[in-house]
């Protein structure tokens, strides 16, 4: 038996001290980009992300829609593996069909459908416009568009046909297949439309260009794209069916894989890493984890992991610590592993990025995680709250909520992730709700503004400098009391 001479610490137990803010410390100069996969020290990582946030490998979080939105704002999503191989590969392929600025036509309806059905379709997909085709499929003949602005149930009957309110092809400006994004945006703005259909010679829609995407690109100009300007996307894998799952995901176009396990310090993960290196060399990138100490990191780094995930039991819907007595405070785990990561880089000349997974309840905790030395963060609850997550929206006591469940819950029944064989014998996660927070785009914008502001106050314009120069202090119980003194709050919404 060995007892560590420390207390298991969380991010909420620390505050940052300000450092000198000089003339270079302005929001425009702050670089939040991070390496996603291993690389030689002094060289760029083959995959970098401008926004150091990735979505958790969870059925309640990572869908193609969220993956596209997150790639647009500079992050990356990992499509979950707790589903048949074909379905996961199809989700990856759905993301890869998108080029930056050109969206795949995936919301379609027949002209004979009712306005009520159109409203349900748009609400269920979170879209404002549907493409009308002769058979209601993406490959059908293009007949027009219908959007939420085209009908109002105070004036139009729910049983009226879509064709009674749709804008027909003859009324619309359209683009041609092969035109550049700049040309498409010019037509879009000149036409005053919100959506420009790109139509092939066979009269079928090949892509959609949206005004909203143009505006987002101006706001988030560093989209996560590959060499062909397609959005990058990750995918989770397990240690059971990896020999079949990994080739399917690679064929679908996955840019990076990640072993999805609550405990990654395992010979089984090494077997998967050996398989990938033997089959694909360095052409397929794969992260591993989760671990909570330096020995676990060193084992996976030596085995060839492209990045290592840190954290056991710190997730908001994870009960591994309660059920098994295993885990570590996220701050303590990260502090030790960051030291090991940097030692490994000095010894081998290879830098293996760290993904901090769990333990983030507030945006301020993200700043603390980066100060400790995390390269990027994997977030579940944070992204589950947004419109783009696949979880259903519900209303309870007048409040709009999103359903949220852990991969270790009975609802997910992800026995493979927790090493429980075919059946989930006991739960390591819960099933619950999180407050609905609106659009990913708007929320990520605010989060990044907070991070930049914190780094400026700490005199840093890059994540590495932030880690190297940050000063952290532990927080007393009295500090928590002081921060939560009763105040009559103004409940008016904050202007963003």
Residue boundaries of the structural domains of the chain: 11-99+223-482, 102-219
Best-predicted range by mean pLDDT (46-60, 97-111, 142-156, 317-331): 46-60
Structural contact between residues 376 and 36, judged by C-beta atoms closer than 8 angstroms: yes
Residues 282-306 pLDDT 10s: 999 999 999 999 999 999 999 999 9
| Cα-based distances in Å from 67 to 10, 14, 53, 76, 91 | 29, 32, 12, 7, 10
Which superfamily does CATH assign the domain made up of 102-219 to? CBS-domain (3.10.580.10)
Q: What residues are annotated to the active site?
A: 318, 417
What tokens does 309 get? 């995930």
Residues 441-481 pLDDT 10s: 999 999 999 999 999 999 999 999 999 999 999 998 766 66
C-alpha to C-alpha distance for 381 and 407, rounded to whole angstroms = 12
pLDDT of 376 above 70:
yes
The whole-model pTM stands at 0.84
**Binding-site sequence positions for K(+):** 313, 315, 318
Burial pattern 377-401, b for ≥16 Cβ within 10 A else e, equals bbbbbbbbbbbbbbbeeeeeeeeeb
C-alpha to C-alpha distance for 341 and 335, rounded to whole angstroms = 10
C-alpha to C-alpha distance for 209 and 484, rounded to whole angstroms = 47
Give 425's Cβ-side CA count (13 Å radius).
7
11-99+223-482: CATH, from 1.10.730.10, 3.30.930.10, 1.10.10.10, 3.20.20.70: 3.20.20.70
Mean pLDDT score, 204-208: 91
Q: CB burial class (10 A; 0-12, 13-18, 19+) of residue 359?
A: buried
Q: How confident is the model at residue 427 (pLDDT cuts 50, 70, 90)?
A: low
Structural contact between residues 355 and 376, judged by C-beta atoms closer than 8 angstroms: yes
- For residue 319, the model assigns a pLDDT of 60
Instruction: Give yes or no on whether 11-99+223-482 and 102-219 have one common fold.
Output: no
Vertex 199: Cα angle to 164 and 206 (nearest 5):
105
The verdict on whether omega for the bond into residue 290 sits within 30 degrees of 0, i.e. cis, is yes
């Amino acid at each position: 038996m060995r007892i560590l001479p420390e207390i298991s610490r969380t991010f909420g137990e620390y505050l940052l001290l300000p450092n000198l803010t000089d003339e270079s410390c302005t929001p425009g100069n702050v670089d939040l980009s991070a390496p996603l996969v291993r690389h030689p020290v002094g060289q760029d990582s083959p995959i970098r992300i401008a926004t150091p946030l990735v979505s958790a490998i969870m059925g309640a979080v990572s869908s193609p829609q969220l993956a596209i939105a997150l790639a647009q704002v500079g992050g990356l999503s990992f499509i979950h593996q707790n589903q048949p191989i074909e379905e996961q590969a199809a989700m990856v392929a759905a993301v890869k069909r998108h080029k930056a600025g050109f969206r795949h036509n995936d919301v379609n309806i027949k002209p004979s459908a009712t306005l009520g059905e159109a409203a349900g379709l748009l609400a269920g997909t979170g879209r404002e416009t549907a493409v009308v085709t002769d058979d209601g499929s993406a490959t059908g003949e293009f007949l027009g568009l219908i959007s939420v602005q085209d009908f109002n149930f105070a004036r139009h009957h729910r049983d009226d046909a879509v064709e009674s309110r749709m804008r027909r092809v003859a009324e619309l400006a359209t683009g041609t297949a092969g035109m550049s994004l700049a040309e498409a945006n010019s037509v879009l703005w000149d036409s005053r439309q919100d959506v420009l259909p790109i139509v092939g010679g066979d009269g079928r829609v090949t892509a959609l260009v949206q005004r909203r995407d143009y505006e987002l690109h101006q706001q988030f100009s560093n989209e996560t794209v590959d060499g062909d300007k397609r959005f990058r996307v990750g995918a989770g894998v397990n240690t059971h069916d990896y020999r079949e799952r990994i080739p399917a995901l690679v064929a679908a176009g996955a840019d990076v894989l990640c072993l999805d396990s609550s405990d990654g310090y395992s010979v089984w993960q090494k077997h998967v890493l050996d398989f990938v290196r033997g089959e694909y060399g360095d052409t397929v990138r794969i992260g591993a984890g989760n671990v909570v100490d330096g020995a676990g990191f060193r084992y996976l780094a030596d085995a060839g992991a492209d990045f290592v995930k840190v954290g056991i039991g710190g997730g908001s819907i994870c009960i591994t610590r309660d059920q098994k007595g295993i885990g570590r405070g996220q701050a303590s785990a990260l502090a030790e592993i960051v030291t090991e990561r940097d030692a490994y880089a000095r010894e081998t000349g290879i830098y293996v990025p760290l993904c901090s997974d769990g333990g983030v309840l507030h945006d301020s905790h993200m700043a603390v995680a980066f100060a400790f030395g995390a390269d990027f963060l994997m977030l579940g609850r944070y992204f589950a709250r947004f419109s783009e997550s696949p979880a259903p929206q519900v209303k309870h006591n007048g409040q709009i909520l999103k359903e949220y469940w852990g991969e270790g819950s009975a609802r997910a029944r992800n026995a493979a992730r927790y090493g429980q064989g075919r059946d989930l014998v006991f739960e390591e996660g819960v099933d619950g709700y999180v407050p609905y927070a609106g659009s990913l785009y708007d929320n990520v914008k605010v989060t990044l503004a907070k991070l930049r502001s914190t780094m400026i106050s700490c005199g840093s314009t890059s994540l590495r400098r932030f880690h190297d120069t940050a000063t952290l202090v532990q927080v007393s119980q009295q500090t928590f009391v002081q921060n939560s003194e009763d105040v009559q709050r103004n409940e008016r919404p904050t202007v963003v």
